[in-house]
Amino acid sequence: MPNQSQYVLETMLRIIHKSSELITEPRVFGTEVLYASEIHMIDIIGRNPGIHVTEIANKLGITKGAVPKIICKLLQKELIYRYQAKDNKKMVLFTLTPKGHASFQSHIEFHKKLDQGIIKKFNSLQESELLMFHDIMHEIEEYIDRIEK
């Protein structure tokens, strides 16, 4: 018979699996069906108009080489504009089109809905419970980081 720790682990693994499915399946944002990589790039550009490739890569934690692939898809879908910096013609900058802005706003609303229930539960906890939960989650994250290496 599994003990309580095993039940907690099974619940955590189900949450990870469901979260993974939630972010890997394309979904409609605004008028477009977008993958997580696309909407997260739109989110970065929407929060940082006039951003360039290196900044996008740093903010998303991906390589600079991965950025143009996603940028190309977003340009084809007419969700972003590409333009040159006035003071540096070699630097390419990005901003959202009106269609891209609609997707950006839809993504914000998606996260408000998703995050609302989780934050509500966290707010119902005593501060000591929340700190203990945070400490446990942080230790699990560090453990996973060590295993990856």
Q: How many helices (H) and strands (E) does the chain have?
A: 6, 5
| 2: pLDDT strictly greater than 80 | no
pLDDT single digits (tens) 108-123: 999 899 899 999 999 9
Report pLDDT for 149.
64
Q: Token pair for residue 112? A: 């408000």
Per-domain residue ranges for the chain? 4-148
Please indicate, yes or no, whether the overall pTM of this predicted structure exceeds 0.95: no
Residue 71 dihedral angles phi and psi, to the nearest 5°: -55, -45
pLDDT band at residue 29 under the 50/70/90 scheme: very high
| 88: pLDDT strictly greater than 90 | no
CATH code given to domain 4-148: 1.10.10.10
